[in-house]
Each structure stands twice: as structure tokens, then as C-alpha cells.
Structure 1
Amino acid sequence: MVKLTGFKKVKTAVFISGTGSNLKNLIRFSKIKNSPISIDLIFSNTIKAKGLRFSDQFNIKQYVSSFKDSKVSEAKILNLLNKENIKLICLAGFMKILSKNFIKDFSGKIVNIHPSLLPKYKGLDTHIKAIQNKDEVAGCTVHFVTAKLDSGKIILQKEVKISEKDTPTSLAKKVLRQEHRLYPAAIKKIFN
């Protein structure tokens, strides 16, 4: 667990693979006076990640590595994280699985947001599964990352009602709106 010391914000890296809507939301949250974090690094496993544009927009360092050789990529990333004195990693739509060794080096300091009410629907296609199983609610979870996929200690969850008209796309949009509220709330909870 990360503990906040004094009034200094905790240097944080956000790992993305896509549009970066949760990244943008976390950047906005980090700019608030009483936010416990500052976003100091954006990492992506693909140069095509649209979220990388926030690097220029908010003047935040970025680093891209394809993970073709995940051992080499992870070694370079760990080196950079240490060099930048990063103390917290937020996964936000990061579509690569980090190795046990990487997670061990940052144990208790990696959090993830997942678009289901864990332990239900680990991995991909969460909204399709929720609708196919005729669930009444879906939702999102912020949890600590462990070597076991989507299985770390839950920090916070938020339910979202599924209507009869919902499609996987409409449900994804509803859940994403809640993710944007939940992630900052979960980070505050970690440091309180």
C-alpha cells in the first residue's frame, strides 16, 4: 500500500492502450488541490493509442514500448519508473498482462479499473457477458493488481442498472461514466 507523506503529491504513471478517457479524467483529478497524486508519466504499449495526445496537451512525459519482447519492455519500463521516482501505477484500459516479476517489483502500488463487478467477468467482453446472462446490474471495479488476472483486493465498486434496451455498446458507455467517478474516489480511498 502507498502512504501519503506530508503534502507532496505521489508521482504516478498511467498505463493505456486506447482512447485514454480514464487517463484524461485522472489528469484532471490530479490537478485538484487536494488530489493525492500527480501524473508524471504516460505509458502505452502502442503508438496508436489516442490517449497519448494528452501527453502533449498536459505536458506529461510519455513512453511507448510494443511489448514484442515483454521481458525487455518490462525491464526498460521498470528502469524508467525508478528513474522518474514513480510510486503508483494506474492501469486505465491497458491491454497487456504484466508479468509476476513486474507486479512483484511494484507490489501494492498498481491499481486497475475493470468494467465489471469483480469477481464477475474477469478479462474481456464484460458487457456482452452481462447482457447474455440477463444480469440486472453491471458496473465497474477499482482493484489492486496481483499476478492473477483481475483478482486483487477490491478498493471500490459501482453498480450500473442494465435496461432491457441496453446493448453492449450502450452499457459500455453507462459503465464508463461511472468509471470516471469511481477511479478518483478509489485513489482518494487508498491514501486516506
Structure 2
Amino acid sequence: MVKLTGLKKVKTAVFISGTGSNLKNLIKFSKIKNSPISIDLIFSNTAKAKGLRFSNQFNVKKYVSSFKDSKIAETKILNLLKKENIKFICLAGFMKILSKNFIKKFNGEIVNIHPSLLPKYKGLNTHIKAIQNKDKVAGCTVHFVTAKLDSGKIILQKVVKISKKDTLTTLAKKVLRQELKLYPAAIKKIFS
């Protein structure tokens, strides 16, 4: 477990593959006085990730490496994390699965935000599954990352009601609104 040392914030990397809405939110959260983390690196597996624009906007280093050869990519990333003294990783819409080796070799904690109430609906297409199964509720989960997909210890969850009118788009928006509150709350809980 990463421990807070005095007044220093824990150096954190955020891994993304898409628009970066959780990334932007985490950067803003990291800037508040009582936040336990500082965002020091943004990593993406694709140069097309729209969230990379926040690197310039907030003056945070960025690094892109495709996962065509995941072993090479992970070795490069681990070296970079070590060089930058990163102790904490937040996965925020990162669409690659980190290897057991990477998770073991990274000397810190890795957390992920997932758009379902785990252990229900691991992996992709969570909102479609919830709607098709006529679930009354959906939600999001922040959990520790282990070698088993979406199976690490749950830190916090938030429930979202599904209305009869909800579509994939409306449900996704509802869940994202809660994700933006849940991720900072979970990080505070980890370091409290």
C-alpha cells in the first residue's frame, strides 16, 4: 500500500484510451489542497485518445505507446514510471488489459473505475447488458487492479437508477456523472 508521506502528494499516472473525462476530473481533483495525489503523467495506448489534449491544457507529461507488442510496451512504461517516481496508477477508460507481470512489477497501487456494480458485468458493454437484462439499477465501481479482469477488491460503488426510458446513451451519461464523483472519493478513502 502506498503511504502518504508528510505533506507530499503521491505521484500518480492516469492511463486512458478515450475522451479523458475521468482524467480531466482527476487532474482538477489533484489540484485541490487536500487531494492526496498529484497527476504527473498521462499514458495512452493510442495517439488518437482525445484525453491527451489535457496534457497541454494542464501541463502534465504524456506518453503514448501502442500495445502491438504488449511485452515491449509494458517494459517501456514500467521504466518510465520508475524514472518519474510514479507510485499510484489510475486507470480511466484504459482499454487494454495489463499483464500479471506488469501488475506485479509496478511498485505501487493500481486502481480502476468500471461502469457497473461489480462483480456484475465485468468487461465491456456494461450498459447494454444492464438494459437488456431489465435491471432496475446500474452504477460504477472503483476497485484495485489484479491479474483477474475487474475482480480486485472494491473500494467504493455508486448506484444509479435505470428508468424505463433509459437508452444506452442516457444510462452511460448518468453513470459517468456518478463516476466523476466516485473516483476522487475512492482515492481519498484509499489514502485516509
Q: TM-score, normalised on structure 1?
A: 0.99
Displacement of 1:187 after TM fit? 0.2
* SS of equivalent residue, structure 1 residue 82: helix
Gaps of at least 5 residues in structure 1 are none
- The answer to whether the aligner puts 1:133 opposite 2:151 as a matched pair is no
Q: 1:5: Cα distance to partner?
A: 1.4
Identity of aligned residues (%): 88
Moved segments of 4+, more than 4 Å:
none
Look up the match of 2:68: 68
Partners of 1:168 and 1:86 in 2: CA distance = 36
Query: Which residue does the alignment assign to 2:18?
Result: 18
Instruction: Name 2:6's counterpart in structure 1.
Output: 6
The whole-number CA distance in structure 2 between the counterparts of 1:179 and 1:34 is: 20
- Superposed CA offset, 1:3-59 (max 9, x none): 111110000000000000000000000000000000000000000000000000001
Q: Is the 8 Å Cα contact of residues 145 and 152 (structure 1) preserved in structure 2?
A: yes
Which stretch has the larger CA shift, 1-10 or 153-162?
1-10
Q: Give the match for residue 77 of structure 1.
A: 77
Aligned to 1:51: 51
Amino acid paired to 2:187: I
Query: Aligned-residue CA RMSD in angstroms?
Result: 0.7
Is 1:178–2:178 an aligned residue pair? yes
Contact 2:87 2:107 in 1 (8 A): no
Secondary structure (helix, strand or coil) at the match of 2:13 reads strand
Any idea what SS the aligned residue of 2:112 has?
A: strand
Aligned length: 192
- In 2: Cα distance, 1:78 partner to 1:49 partner: 21
Asked if structure 2 preserves the Cα contact closer than 8 Å seen for 1:17 and 1:44, the reply is yes
> Structure 2 unaligned runs (5+)?
none
Summarize the alignment of residues 92-131 of structure 1 with structure 2, pairs less than 5 Å apart: 92-106=92-106, 109-131=109-131
In structure 2, C-alpha distance between the alignment counterparts of 1:11 and 1:5, rounded to whole Å: 11
Evaluate the alpha carbon distance shift between residue 161 and residue 107 of structure 1 in structure 2; reply closer, same or farther with a 3 A threshold.
farther
Distance 1:105 1:70, change over 3 A: same
Structure 2 counterpart of 1:154, one-letter code: I
1:98-137 alpha-carbon deviations (Å, 9 max, x no partner) = 0000011236600000000000000000000001111100
Q: Deviations over 1:136-175 (max 9, x none)?
A: 0000000000000000000000000000000111100000
- Name the structure 2 match of 1:33: 33
TM-score, normalised relative to structure 2: 0.99
Partner of 1:190: 190
Q: Which amino acid aligns with 1:48?
A: K
